[in-house]
Every structure is written in structure tokens, then in C-alpha cells.
Structure 1
Amino acid sequence: MKEIKVPELAESITEGTIAEWLVKKGDQVKKGDPILELETDKVNVEVNADASGVISELMKEEGDDVEVGDVIATVDENGEAGGSEDDSSQEEEEEKSEPKQEKAKKQQETEEKEEDKDSSKQQQSSSDDKQKDVVATPAARKRARELGIDLSEISARDPLGRIRPEDVEAASKGGSQKEEKKEAPKKEKKKEQNNEKTEFDKPVERIKMSRRRQTIAKRLVDAQQNSAMLTTFNEVDMTNVMKLRSERKESFQKKHDIKLGFMSFFTKAAVGALKEFPLINAEIQGNEIVKKKFYDIGMAVSTDDGLVVPVVRDADRLDFAGIEKGIADLATKARNKELQLEDLQGGSFTITNGGIFGSMLSTPILNSPQVGILGLHNIEKRAKVMPDDTIQARPMMYIALSYDHRIVDGKEAVQFLRRIKEMIEDPYDLLLEG
């Protein structure tokens, strides 16, 4: 018999929740076959069988939390699929091989047992008939059965003559019913007070948080508690980007087989600004500041299971088409639950776009241990005073930078956001630099 254990998943992952069993007891599996889907803090991973044979037992159920090294199933390496049917046929063969005398003896013993059961049932039914005539609550009847007390011998304290559980308890203790009467209202009052604290007066639905949702909640709280987080804002005139995108989108898609979106512009602008303000591309480790010389940009993606932040690697080395393809690929993998651990690790800065949901303004929370996150928002036409003092309706977007004030000063944060604004409002210069 071979035990299947939760394998080592990654250095930062030590536990998970069984999302779905892909096999059942009695199934034939080969070494390397996936047997279950495990939901971890970051992604869903498949656990494979490390031996060939028949699944003899599943030690855990769907929804159970497991840790690395826990035994989750056993495999019979010498077994064959449908072992339960083989066992039953084997029992039938053994029965056939038994001597006739032993069979007759067993049959006689079975009949005697049935007769004993019938007699006890008759006695029980006569007793039950008597107790059916007694007016009592279901809880009282259950307690009376547990204590072996005849309900017909208990006197009820209820004005309507209904026997309650406290009457049964009093009868079992042989105590004074008057004392029980005094204590019962106190107990009921205390119970009602407790219910008011823990229960709702109206219907509710309780749903267990998924492991990923628990992790998201924990990380967001940790980010706020363990950093000096502030947010600064600016607004960007999107006129030139929208004009350039309109001019180039058809030729761009024809050439690269991907649409030209806004995210590639902001990613390029963010990389340029990070090079000018390197502390926003850093992190704190103990008493040291670690400045990152690479630009792996996390892209917040909303899925049915919660927010995930896959990473576009070396964004500074990619052109606009490479960034757009990278973002599209990660978004598809995230929604299809195909992200791997390496897709989520090692980001240096994050961009989140609440504008796709209609958000006008927000204060994004840091993706620890990163010290900066850029928030994009909805584009809406607003009145803007132009340099010649005319007022025009322009497509405007609010942008936000949340940063860790422990290593990023307000001056740097404001200048960083201002630099992004300048590059987005002059995208031709951005294209040349990119």
C-alpha cells in the first residue's frame, strides 16, 4: 500500500485546500496522473499520483485544509480497478465453499436473532403506544428515550399539560419540580440574550471564504498595518493617446495580431518614471533598502476567485506589442485558472486599472513588499482650461500612486506621477523612447 502525500509546492506555500478530487475510490491510476486539484494562496495546482495502482482510500474530502506532507490518499499497487466488486465475488465463492452444515447453522442463528428482534419490537411498540398518548415536545421525547424514562409517569408543569425537556431532567434526578420551575425561566432568558449577540433576526447565508480570498484579505490588512501608505493623485489628458491609438490601431493589429490598448502606454510610462525615481522600484528588507535593477510589472487581474497579480517580465525590454501580448496572455490564464506560481512571483511594481469597471477615483493598496502601485481610472470628458484660456471638453483620467512613505518621500511620489502624466500626454515622445 502506497501513501500519497501533499508534495512540496513552493518555498512560500506550505498548505492548501482540496478544491476537487479528480479520482474516486476504486479508480485505476498511473504514476504521474493528476488525482486532485489543490487551491493554494496563489494558484490552483494539481497533485499527481506517485505510484501506479488502485485508489484504495481517500483520506481527505473536498474543502479540507491540508499541509505539505499530509497523507491524502492510499494506492494499492497490486490492486485492480473495481476492487469492491472483486471482493464481493470473492465472498460469494467463499460462501459456496462452506459446508452445508455450517450454512444451516448460520441460517438458524439468523432466524433466532430475527425472532428476538421481533419480540423486542413488539415490547417497544406497546411502550411507544402508551407514550404517544402523552403530550410532549420532540426534545422531551428524545431525552426521555436517552434516559429510559416513561413519559406517562412524568407530570408536566406546562399549563397546557405539555411535557418539556426540563420535566424529563427533573424526573431523572428525582428533584423538586418547583425548584426546576424557578430555574427554567432564568435559563431561557439567558439563552435568548446569547442568541441576540450571535444570531440574526432575518435570513442570512454563511459562505466559507476560499483560501485565496482569505489570503487576499490577510495580505491587504498586512499591507496597511506594516507600511506607511499614502496616496497622491493627478489627472491626465488622454486626447493625444486616444488620437494616436485611433490612427494606429488597425495597422497595429494587422501587424502584431493584438489590439493596441491603453495599458501598454501606461506600462511604458511607468518603466520610464521608475528609472528616474528608483526608490519606487525598491523594497525594504529589515534595515536595508533593496533597489531593483529590473522592471517586472505586476498587472492586477480580477477573477471569479478574487484579485491576482501576474507579472509581465522585463517590461523595459518589450515593445508595445510584446506588452499587450503579455498582458492578454496572463489575463486569459488567470480567468482559466491556468496561472503558474512563477507567473505571480517577483514583481517590482504594480498597475491596477479600476477604470474598466467604471471607477472614477480610488486609493489602491500596496502589493507588499512592493512600495508603489499605480491606479488607473475611467476616462470621462471634462471641461479643461487650455493654455490660451479657452475651455474645451477633453477626455480626462484621474491617476493615483499609493506609496510607502518609509522610503518614498512625498516629493518623489508627486514628481513620479507628474512624469507619467507628461509621457502619456506626449505619447509620440514615449514611442520614440520606447
Structure 2
Amino acid sequence: MAEIIVPELAESITEGTIAQWVKKPGDKVEKGEFIVELETDKVNAEIISEEAGILKEILAEEGDTVLVGAVIAIVEAGDAAATPAPTPATVEAAPAPAVEAPKAAPVAPVVVEESSSTERVIASPAARKLAREKGIDLASVSPVDPQGRVRVQDVAAHGTAPAAPAAKPAEAPKAATPAVDESRVTVEKMSRRRQTIATRLLEVKQSTAMLTTFNEIDMTNVMALRSRKKDQFQEKHDGTRLGFMSFFTKAVVAALKKYPYVNAQIVGNEIHLNNFYDVGVAVSTDDGLVVPVVRDCDRKNFAEIEDAIGGLAKKARDKKLQIADLQGGSFTITNGGVFGSLMSTPIMNGTQAAILGMHTIQKRPIAVGDEVQIRPMMYVALSYDHRIIDGKDSVGFLKTVKELLENPEDLLLES
């Protein structure tokens, strides 16, 4: 008999949501076969069975939140028919404190054994580990989290006096949910990824001194160069198309070298100046925005950047991104122009200090010398953390990007 356990996917991922069971109890399972899809805040992971046999029991339903290390299914070795899982009535009939029949109640390890509470204590793996080391009953810890999740800080701050069971903070915020008129309102549960996106964007807004500066770029010369070279470029590089993203990425790298604080981040009371140029490119998917990272953009040519961006975008849309594809970026570019956005103020990504927003190209009358001409113009926006980036650097960075894109021959020399 083998247990299907939620694997450790990355240090920052402690839980996930069961998105889909591919197999059902009684189905035959091959070793290495994909049996359940787990949705985390970063990627969707396919969990496989380490043993061939019959899927005997499923311990977590679709939509359930499960912790890393939790047992979510049982596979019985061999070709024998699966033993039917006990019904809820059978489980309830069994005495709660019984220890002689652990197999009939696989969820017993996560049930509070005190008679005053039968609810599962939700805690991070680090909190559980610290509680074991200190000999603390997690049920007696008062969490700060309004959702009742016990974190390592709660365990560390737990006093020697036992907490009163009646004073659970988790129960305080529970208010009656207003009745919804289903004929007027469609209720849709937020996916784990959408919840995480919302949380992190709010954290960035609340924990940084974010400002945005704007400029506009005359795209005439870039468009002319691209038009002249695109066929030759595509033929030379085995079908790779020459897009605008490679021009912007190379311009950003040149500007980051000139203004290194835009490529930095705050760690505690220190400023870490990154000496690498790993640029995140925001990609819109059905499940929300993800930001895969193109590595070492200073060492890649235009074709390599286009290939990398195209490959990552396809993986994102096919839900094939790996954790490594999303980690370690030093700067981000987001292109709202593909959806027709004329101007926006992008929000910074994670711990990065800045993000560049591209927008739609629109023909507008502008002054060229003493004449008014119709030119293809693009507004660009740089949102930045004013704690480490001064206005002079932010404006200079954006001006450098503008000058390089308006004179793409200089961009080729810079790269």
C-alpha cells in the first residue's frame, strides 16, 4: 500500500488546492501515472503515483486546500479490487479516541484530540515543526491570522499558560454571509492563483513607496527597421519572428546598466544591487497574470530573447510553467498595449524595485522640428519604489529607453 503525498514544490509553497482528480476510487493506476492536479499560487503541478495498483481511497476532494506533506490518497498494490472507502456514517460511529484502528480513520493525525474541539488545526509546516519541538499543542495556540491559520510566529509567541479554548480568534471574524439573489448575482469562487495575485498586489501597494513616471516614444524608426529586417531575420533564425519585445528588453538592459538602483531590491535594511539582468515578462492566461523570467538578457541576442519569450508564453498558456521559470527576476516588463491600453500605472512585481509598462501604438500629431507630423507613438510608464530610486534615476532610466528605441542603431551598438 502506498500513500499519495502532496510533494514539496518550492520553499515558498506550503499548500495547494486539489484542482482535479484524474482517477477515481477503484481505478487501476500505473507507476508514474498522473492521478491528480494540484493548483498552487504559482503553478499547477501534476502529482503521480509512485506505485502501481488500485486507487483505494481519496482523502481530499476537488477544491480542498491541502498542506505540503499531507496524505491525499491511498494506492493499494496489486490488481485486487479496491476496498470501498468507509462512509461518513461509519467513520462517525467509530469512537474518536480509539487507537487500535488507525487505518479506518486516515485523517486522525490532523484531528484535535481534545473533547472541546474536533476541528482541524490549520498551520504552516514550519509552525507544526516548531510546536513539536517545544511540545506545544497547536489547538492551544492563538493565531494572529484572522482566518485562523497558525504560523511559526504564533507558536514562538505562545506563552506557558494554556490558551482558553473559548477565545479562538478564528471564530471571531465569522459573520453571517448576506443572502445572495442568484437571479441577479453570479457567485464565482476565486482560484488559489487569483487569491495570491490579489494578496501580493495589495502587499506591494502597502509596503512600498510606489510612484509612476511617464514618457512617450516615437516608434517610427523601430517600426521601419523591423519592417526592413523581419523577413531576413525570420529566415536566418529558423522561423523566429522579430517583435517589439526584444527591442524593449535590450533597451531596458542598457538602461539598467546605466541606472543600477532600478535593478535593485530592499532586503531588510540593505540595498541589494543585482549584477544580473533576468527580466520578467508578464503573460496573461485564463487563470490570471504570471511573470516568467528570461535569464541573462544581457548575454542574449534579439533572436534568443524572442525565442525565450515565445517559449515561456506558450508554457504559461499550456499550464506547463515550472517553479524555476518564475523565480529570481530583477525587473519586469508588462505590455498592456496588446489589449489596447493607452496608458496605465503598473504595479511592481514582488520584491523588485521597478516595472516598465508598454502600451498601444497610436498615430498622433506631434511636433517634429517646426512641423507637425503624424507619428506612431507609444506611452510608456515606469512604476518604481521611491525608497531606493530617486526621481532623477527614474526619469533618466525612462529617457534612456526612449532614446535607444528612437535610435535603434544605437540600441544595436549597446547590445
Instruction: State the TM-score bracket (shorter-chain normalisation).
Output: 0.7 to 0.9
Equivalent position SS for 1:75? strand
Partner of 1:8: 8
Q: Deviations over 1:306-352 (max 9, x none)?
A: 00000000001000000000110001110011111100000000000
Letter in 1 for 2:387: R
Give the secondary-structure state (helix, strand or coil) at the position aligned to 2:359.
Answer: strand
Query: Which residue in 2 is equivalent to 1:265?
Result: 247
What amino acid is aligned across from residue 28 of structure 1 in structure 2? K
| Alpha carbons 2:9, 2:323 under 8 Å: kept | no
Partner of 2:275: 293
Aligned to 1:283: 265
| Residue of structure 2 equivalent to 1:80 | 79
SS of equivalent residue, structure 1 residue 317: coil
Aligned to 2:389: 408
Measured at CA, do residues 202 and 196 of structure 1 come closer, stay the same or move farther in structure 2, by a change above 3 Å? farther
> How far 1:199 sits from its partner (Å)?
4.0
Aligned to 1:374: 356
Q: Which residue number corresponds to residue 61 of structure 2?
A: 61
Structure 2 counterpart of 1:347, from 329, 332, 335: 329
- Match of 1:368, SS state, is coil
Once the two structures are aligned, what percentage of the paired residues are identical?
62
Alpha-carbon separation, structure 2, partners of 1:41 and 1:196: 26
3-state SS in 1 of match to 2:185: coil
1:183-194 aligned within 5 A: none
Which residue is equivalent to 1:327? Answer: 309
In structure 2, the residue corresponding to 1:412 is in which secondary structure?
Answer: helix
Instruction: Give, as a single letter, the amino acid of the residue that structure 2 aligns with 1:313.
Output: R
1:82 CA displacement: 4.1
Give the C-alpha shift of residue 83 in structure 1.
3.9
Deviation at 1:27, TM superposition (A): 1.9
Q: Which amino acid aligns with 1:226?
A: S
State which structure, 1 or 2, has the greater radius of gyration over its C-alpha atoms: 1
Q: Does structure 1 residue 431 correspond to structure 2 residue 412?
A: yes
**Contact preservation (8 Å) 1:30, 1:49:** yes
Helix, strand or coil: the match of 1:315?
A: coil
AA partner of residue 407 (structure 1): I
Question: 1:72 aligns to what SS in structure 2?
Answer: strand
Cα pair distance change 1:201/1:339, threshold 3 Å: closer
- Tell me how far 1:70 sits from its aligned partner: 1.1
Q: Which residue of 1 aligns with 2:295?
A: 313
- CA offsets per residue over residues 176-212 of structure 1, 9 Å max, x none? xxxxxxxxxxxxxxxxxx9996545961111110000
With the length of structure 1 as denominator, give the TM-score of the two structures: 0.72
The structural deviation recorded for 1:69 is 1.4
Give 4+ residue runs of structure 1 displaced > 3 Å after superposition: 81-85, 194-202
SS where residue 264 of structure 1 aligns?
A: helix
- Equivalent position SS for 1:360: coil
- The answer on 1:231 being equivalent to 2:212 is yes
Gap runs ≥5 in structure 2: 85-174
DSSP-derived class of the 1:375 partner: strand
Aligned to 2:43: 43
Query: Which residue in 2 is equivalent to 1:121?
Result: none
Call closer, same or farther: CA 1:374–1:428 in 2, change over 3 Å.
same
TM-score normalised according to structure 2 size: 0.76
Quick one: structure 1 residues 12 and 201, their matched pair in 2 at CA, closer, same or farther if it must change by over 3 Å? closer
Q: 1:221 and 2:202 equivalent? A: yes
CA gap of 1:82–1:201, structure 2 versus 1, over 3 A, is: closer
* Residue 26 (1) aligns with residue 26 (2): yes
Measured in 2, the distance between the counterparts of 1:202 and 1:3 equals: 44
- State the shift of 1:31 in Å: 3.0
**3-state SS, counterpart of residue 10 of structure 1:** coil
The answer for unaligned runs of 5 or more in structure 1 is: 86-193
Match of 1:255 in 2: 236
- Paired with 2:339 and 2:250, the residues of 1 have a C-alpha distance of 23
The answer to whether the Cα contact below 8 Å between 1:27 and 1:81 also exists between their aligned partners in 2 is no
Whichever structure has more helix as a proportion of its residues is 1
One-letter amino acid of the structure 2 residue matched with residue 232 of structure 1: T
Quick one: structure 1 residues 50 and 195, their matched pair in 2 at CA, closer, same or farther if it must change by over 3 Å?
A: closer
- Find the counterpart in structure 1 of residue 222 from structure 2: 241
Deviation digits for residues 140-172 of structure 1 (CA, Å, limit 9, x no counterpart): xxxxxxxxxxxxxxxxxxxxxxxxxxxxxxxxx
Aligned equivalents of 1:197 and 1:333: distance in 2?
40
